[in-house]
Structure 1
Amino acid sequence: MNKKKITSIVLSCMLVVSVVFTGCGSKSEATSTKKASDSGKTLVYGAEFEDEKLNPILTEDKYTNEEIFTGLMKFDENNIPKPEIADSYTISDDKLTYDFKLKKGIKFHDETELKAEDVVFTLKSILDEKVNSSLKPEYSEIKDVQAVNDYEVKVILKEAFPPLLDKLTIGIIPKHCFNGKDINTAEFNQKPIGTGPFKFVKWDKGNNITLTKFKDYYGKTGNIEKFVVKFIADYNVRAMQLQTGEIDVAYLEPSQVSKIEKLNNVKVYKVDTADYRCMMYNMKKDIWKDVNVRKAFNYALDRKGMVDGILLGYGSEAYSPLQINKFNNPDVEKYSYNLDKSNSLLESAGWKKGSDGIRVKDGKKLEFTLTAPKTDEVRVKMAEYFASQFKKIGAEVKVDALDWDAIKIDKCDAFLLGWGSPFDADDHTFRLFHSSEINGGDNNGSYSNPKVDEALYKARTTTDENERKKYYAEFQKELAEDPAYDFGVYLKALFGVNKRVSGVKEKVLGHHGAGFLWNVEQWNVN
C-alpha cells in the first residue's frame, strides 16, 4: 500500500474510563494511559504510521478500522468472507442480486441500532463522486443498493461480480452522523462511531489513539478493556519499547528478530503473507517507455540475494502480484538473474556504455532516482541493493530515502512499492494495473496495457472459477511480457508479542502484516 496506516489498538484493565456519547458529536473523557505493564487488561500496540482520518470508506486500513467498525461480512481464519452483521444472504440465479438479512439489535457505539439504511448509506457514499474514497474501483460493479425494510438489504450489480462478498467486509458507518455534513471533512473522521468490539475514546495526535471495549458488542470477547495505538515510526524505538514492556505488540524488521527472540518476555511470530516489494516503473518517465529497458532491469536483479541478505530468509523471491493467490500462474517469465541477457537487451535498445561505465543514448545517461520511505528498513536496504545491482549493467541510480510526507509516488522516477492481498485476486490488482485507475486511483506508475485491462475486467465479472483462472493467467502472462514493476520479494510478517498476551491466531496476512489483529477482541492479557 502506498499510504500511511494507523496500525493498531489497546485496552485497559483496572482503569476506570468514562465515555459519554451524545449522538454523533461524541464527547469523551478518559483517565490517562498507564504503561502496558501496569494493567493486566490493557493492550498497547506500537504502530508504524498515523493516518489522517478514521473512516473505513475514505481510507483503507486493516487495523484500527477493523476494531472500531464491522461489516456485513468478515474474513475468517482462512480469509474467507463470512456473515458478520449480516445474519444470512442469498444470491439470485443470474448472480446479479444479493439479498442480505441483518442481525437485529446490533448497536453503534452511540447506542443507536444499526439498520438497513446505514448499509445503503455506506455503500452509496463510497460510489458518490463527491466523496473522496480511494476504494471506489473496488465497488464499481454495484448498480444499486436498496433497503427493503429495516433489516433487509438488496445489492444489485451491473454485471456478475464474484469479489462482492470480500468487498462487503467494509465497515458500516451510521447514516445519522452525516445529516447535512460533508463526509470528507466531517468531525466523525476524527471521532468515529462504529459497531466494532472497541469504541473510540481519544486521539492524541502524533502520540496515540485510545479505544475501550464496547460493552454492547454482539460478539465474543476476551478480557482486554483498553486498546491503545501508540505511534512509533522508528522501528528501533518500537523494539526497545517491546523489550521494556511499554508496548505489547509491534511489527519487526528482519534485522531485529534474533535479538528479540532472546528476550524472556516476548514471543516472535513469523507469519506468511501475500505482501510483496517491488520497484515501480513510472511510465510517464521517458526511460521506461521502452519495454526492453524494463525487461533488462528485471533480469539484472538477484532476488535470492535479497531474500538471504536483507530478509535474512524471512521471505521468498517474487515474480507476480498473484503469486500467493489460488489463481497464480507459475508459467510466466520469472526474470531469473541474468546479466548477459540484461546487457544484451540494453545494447539492442541503443544504450551504449560510456568511458565511465554508465550507458548513454542520444546524449542522455541511463540514470534515475529510486525513492523509498526512510522509516522502512527493508525498503531502504532493498533500494540500495537495487542500485548496486543496476550499476553492474551500466545504470546510475540515486537512492532517495524520504519521510512519507515528502513522497508523491506518481512523481517519482521509480518507487520501492509495497502491496499485497490474501483475499480475492481482484483485491489490490484491478486498482493497481487497470488503466482506468491512473488518475486518482492507485495506478501511480500510469501503467496502461489494453490486454491487461481486458483480462482484469473479464476476471472480475466472470463467475465460473475456471474462466477466472484463465483470465488471471492471461493477465499475469501479459504483465510479465510488459512489466509494470520489477518484482523483488515476498515478506514474512514479523511480530513481537509480549508473552502475557494469549489468543493470537495466525493466518496469511496482507500488506505490512495487515490482519494480524483480526481476532484481537478475543485476546486475553494475563
Structure 2
Amino acid sequence: MKKKLLKNKMICSLIIGILSLSFILVGCSSKKVDTSEKSKDKTLIYGSEFEDEKLNPILTTGYTTNLIFRGLMKFDKNNKPKCDIAKSYSKSKDGLTYEFKLRKDVKFHDGSNVKAEDVIFTVNSIKNEKVNSELRPEFKEIKSIKSTGDYELKIKLDKPFPALLDKMTLGIIPKHALEGKDINNAKFNQKPIGTGPYKVEEWKKGSSLTLSKFKDYYDKDKLGNIDRIVIKFIPDYNVRAMQLKTGEIDVAYLEPSQVEKFDKSDNVKVYKLDTADYRCFMYNMRKDIWKDVNVRKAFNYAVDRKAMVKGILLGYGKVAYSPIQFNEFNNEKVEKYTYDLEKANKLLDDAGFKKGSDGIRRKDGKEFSFTLTAPKTDEVRVKIANYLASQFKKLGVNVKVEALDWNAIEIDKCDAFVLGWGSPYDADDHTYKLFHSSQIEGGNNFGAYSNAKVDDLLEKARTTENKSERKNLYNEFQKELVSDPPFNFNVYLKALYGVNKRVTGIKEKILGHHGMGFLWNVEEWNIR
C-alpha cells in the first residue's frame, strides 16, 4: 500500500512537473506573441466608404489627401484656417494682396524642400484649363501669384476674397515631379509625393491603401505612435460594422441603425459628432416637371422633416432648412417649409396637375411620375428615398425609387437624386460651386439650377471684405433659395464613428460632408 502511494506520489510529481514546464513554455510563447502584437498594434486600420480614384489634391477633394499632403494653411478645431507650411502671412488693407513666408524645414516625401515655386505651380496648375480640376472656381479671384524669394510669395487678387485663407489649406504638389507632364493622367496620381505626416507605401486597387509615417515630417513633435494607417475600402456598411466588431478594423463610419449595439460594446466607443452635412432631394432642372417653382414648393411642403430625424436618423441629426445652417452667416429667420399636405396639394392643383379617378395626377394627359435615385451603399439615403416616395404618393405622384451602386450613377442625368453636401468652413464653400449657374457645365451644380439673383448674391458675398455686408448678402441668398428652391432640404446628420477603445488622442469638432474631418488630427493619435 505504501509502495502504491509512493508510486502515485511520484506520478503526480511528474505530472505537476510537466504541467509547470508547459506553463513556463506557454508563458514564454505568450510573451513572443505579445511582442509581435505590440508591433502590429502600431497600425491603424480605417474602414472607408469610398476609394479615391486619384491621390492628387488639385484634381479632386479626396478622403485621404490630408494625410498625404499639407497646405500653407490648415483648419484648427474651430474650423478656422491657421498657419501650417506658411510660417506667417500678411494681408493688405484693401484685401487685394496677401504675402506668405514659408517654413524652411518642410520636405516632400522624396526629401526635397518645399519652396515658393511649388506653391505657385500648385495654384497655376489649378487655374490651367487643361487640368481637370474641380477646384478652379475656388481660385478664380487670384490675379497673380509670384515668388519674392525661395520661401516667400505674394498673391494679388482681382477682387477681395475673404475665403482665400480657407482655400490655401489646399495640399501643395511638387513642381519638380509634375512640371511639363499631363497632370490629369500622371503616374504621380497613383504614387504621390506629398508633405503630410504619412506617405503612400502601397495601393492595392479595390482593396486597401497603406500609408507609413513620414520620419522627416516637419511637425514631428505632434506625432503619435501610429506607424502605419491602412485604409480598407469597404462600401457595405454592414461589412464595416462587422469588421469593427471583430476588431479587423479600428475605425468606421456607422449608420444610425448600428449605433445601439455598439453603445453596449466593451471594445468600441461611438463618437456622435455634429456636422454641416445635409441630405436633400435635388430637383434636376433639366427635367420639365421641375420648371414650375410651385411644383418644387409643393414637394417641399410634403415632407415631415421632424419625422425623418426621428424615424430615419433615430434622433442623430437635425431638421434642415439652409445649406449654411451651421455657418456664422446662417439666417435663422428665413422662412422654413413646414409639413403641410393641404398646401402641397393646392400648389399642384394650381400648377395644372389634377388628380384622376385613380388618384394619380396628370397634366395635358401625361402622368406625373419620375424616378428618385439614391446610392444603395448608403442606408440613410435609401431610407430617405423610400420615405419621400411614400410621401409624394399621398400627393398623387408616382415615384419609383432606384438604389444603385455609385459607379452606376450619373447625378446630372437623374430625374431627382438624394444629394448630400455641407461644409463647416467659409460660407463660400459649398455654395458658389453648388448654386452658381457657371458651375452647371463641369462643376458641382448637378441639378442645373440657374437664378440670376442667386448668381449676383453669391458673387458679391464671396468678394466682399466687410463681414456685416457679407452676412446681409448670404441672408438674402438664403431667402432666394426659399422662393426658388433648387433642393428640398431634409435633414442634417450627426457623424457616427465607431472607434476601437485602444485608439486615443481623437479631438472632436464639427465635421463636413460624409463626416469629412474626423481624421483631421490623426497624426496625433496613439494606439494603446
TM-score by length of 1: 0.92
1:50 maps to 51
Task: Give the residue type in structure 1 aligned to 2:125.
Answer: S
Equivalent pair of 1:251/1:495 in contact (CA under 8 Å): yes
Aligned residue number for residue 28 of structure 2: none
Which of 500, 509, 514 in structure 2 is aligned with 1:507?
A: 509
Q: 1:341 aligns with which of 340, 343, 360?
A: 343
Give the corresponding residue for 1:490: 492
CA positional deviation for 1:179: 2.9
Report the Cα distance in structure 1 between the residues aligned to 2:285 and 2:99, rounded to whole angstroms: 42
Question: How do 1:320-359 residues align onto structure 2 when only pairs under 5 Å count?
Answer: 320-359=322-361
Where does residue 186 of structure 2 map in the other structure?
A: 186
* 3-state SS, counterpart of residue 77 of structure 2: coil
Provide the rounded CA distance (Å) in 1 between the counterparts of 2:326 and 2:483: 20
* Partner SS for 1:421: coil
Structure 1 residues 473, 186: closer, same or farther in 2, change over 3 A? same
Structure 2 match to 1:121: 121
Aligned to 1:407: 409
Residue 363 of structure 1 deviates from its aligned partner by 1.0
Q: 1:367 aligns with which of 366, 369, 373?
A: 369
Q: CA deviation at 1:49?
A: 0.7
Contact 1:456 1:472 in 2 (8 A): yes
Q: Distance in 2 between matches of 1:148 and 1:53?
A: 32
1:93 matched residue in structure 2 = 93
Question: Are 1:39 and 2:40 matched, yes or no?
Answer: yes
Shift in Å at residue 36 of structure 1? Answer: 8.9
Distance 2:465 2:180 in 1: 39
Deviation for aligned residue 1:326:
0.9
List per-residue Cα deviations over 1:85-111 (Å, max 9, x = no partner): 000000012110100000002100000
User: Which residue of the partner structure matches residue 19 of structure 2?
Assistant: none
**Aligned counterpart, 1:103:** 103
Of 459, 480, 483, the residue aligned with 1:481 is 483
8 Å CA contact 1:45–1:230 kept in 2: the answer is yes
In the other structure, the counterpart of 1:69 is: 69
SS of aligned partner of 2:336: coil
Amino acid at match of 1:251: Y
Displacement after TM superposition at 1:489 (Å): 0.1
Once residues 331 and 83 of structure 2 are traced to their aligned partners in structure 1, the CA distance between those partners, rounded to angstroms, is: 30
- Count of aligned pairs between the two proteins: 492
Q: CA deviation at 1:39?
A: 1.5
Amino acid at match of 2:262: I
Q: Which residue number in structure 1 is paired with residue 263 of structure 2?
A: 261
Q: Distance in 2 between matches of 1:66 and 1:339?
A: 45
Q: CA deviation at 1:508?
A: 0.3
- 1:116-515 matches, cutoff 5 A: 116-219=116-219, 220-515=222-517
d(CA) in 2 for partners of 1:71, 1:270: 28
The AA in structure 2 aligned to 1:384 is N
Amino acid at match of 1:338: D
AA aligned to 1:89 is: Y
Query: 1:298 deviation in Å?
Result: 0.2
Quote how far apart the aligned CAs of 1:383 are: 0.3
Deviations, residues 399-446 of structure 1 (Å, cap 9, x unaligned): 000001110000000000000000000001100000010100000100
Identify if the C-alpha distance between structure 1 residues 237 and 149 changes in structure 2 by more than 3 Å, giving closer, same or farther.
same
Q: Could you tell me how far 1:355 is from its partner in structure 2?
A: 1.6
CA deviation after TM superposition for structure 1 residue 245, in Å:
0.7
Q: Secondary structure at the match of 2:300?
A: helix
Distance 1:179 1:293 in 2: 51
CA shift for structure 1 position 332: 1.9
Q: Percent identity?
A: 69
SS in 1 for 2:257: helix
Distance 1:443 1:37, change over 3 A: farther
Q: Do 1:36 and 1:245's aligned partners in 2 also have CA atoms closer than 8 Å?
A: no
Does the CA contact (< 8 Å) of 1:36 and 1:246 recur in 2?
no
For residues 74 and 334 of structure 2, the distance between their equivalents in structure 1, rounded to whole angstroms, comes to 33
Distance between the aligned counterparts of 2:38 and 2:370, measured in 1? 48
Query: Matched residues in 1 for 2:214 and 2:52: separation?
Result: 23
Partners in 1 of 2:355 and 2:429 — Cα distance?
42
Deviation at 1:372, TM superposition (A): 0.3
Residues 451/513 of structure 1: CA separation in 2 closer, same or farther (3 Å cut) = same
**Matched AA of 2:342:** D
Whichever residue aligns with residue 387 of structure 2, its letter is Y
State the partner residue of 1:26.
none
Q: State the 1:180 CA deviation.
A: 2.5
- Flag structure 1 segments of 5+ consecutive residues without an equivalent: 1-34
Q: Could you tell me whether the CA contact under 8 Å between 1:36 and 1:43 is conserved in 2?
A: no
Q: CA RMSD in A?
A: 1.2
- Give me the whole-angstrom Cα distance separating, in 2, the residues matched to 1:509 and 1:277: 14
User: Residue in 1 aligned with 2:13?
Assistant: none
Q: Distance in 2 between matches of 1:295 and 1:150?
A: 56
CA distance in 2, matches of 1:37, 1:509: 32
- Give the aligned residue type for 1:52: E
Q: CA deviation at 1:38?
A: 7.1
Q: Which moved more, 1:178-187 or 1:501-510?
A: 178-187
Partner AA of 1:80 in structure 2: K
Quote the Cα distance in structure 2 between the aligned partners of 1:175 and 1:515.
27
**Structure 1: distance between partners of 2:359 and 2:37:** 56
Contact map agreement 1:36 1:42 (CA 8 A) in 2: no
- For residues 212 and 37 of structure 2, the distance between their equivalents in structure 1, rounded to whole angstroms, comes to 14
Deviation at 1:365, TM superposition (A): 1.1
Q: Per the alignment, in what secondary structure is the counterpart of residue 504 of structure 1?
A: coil
* Post-superposition CA distance 1:177-206 (Å, at most 9, x none): 013310000000000110000011110000
The superposition leaves residues 483-513 of structure 1 with CA deviations (integer Å, 9 ceiling, x where unpaired) of: 0000100000000000000000000000010
Q: Conserved in 2, the CA contact under 8 Å of 1:277 and 1:416?
A: yes
Q: Which whole-Å CA distance do the structure 1 matches of 2:513 and 2:50 have between them?
A: 13
Q: State the Cα deviation string for residues 150-209 of structure 1 (Å, max 9, x = none).
A: 000111111000000000000000000013310000000000110000011110000000
Question: Which consecutive aligned stretches of 4+ in structure 1 deviate over 2 angstroms post-superposition?
Answer: 35-38
Q: CA deviation at 1:37?
A: 8.6
| Secondary structure, aligned partner of 1:272 | strand
Asked if 2 retains the 8 angstrom alpha-carbon contact of 1:239 and 1:260, the reply is no
**Residues in 2 aligned to 1:115 and 1:337: alpha-carbon distance in whole angstroms:** 56
TM-superposed CA distance for 1:305, in Å, is: 1.0
Take 2:277 and 2:522, find their aligned partners in 1: how far apart are those partners? 21
Q: Which amino acid aligns with 1:55?
A: N
Q: 1:341-373: per-residue Cα shift (whole Å, max 9, x none)? A: 000101111110012111000111111100000
- Report the CA distance between 1:334 and its aligned residue: 1.0
For 2:369 and 2:145, locate their aligned partners in 1 and report how far apart those are by CA, in whole Å. 50
Higher radius of gyration, 1 or 2: 2
CA contact (8 A) 1:292 1:346 kept: yes
CA distance in 2, matches of 1:388, 1:146: 57
SS of match in other structure, 1:495: strand
C-alpha displacement of 1:148: 1.2
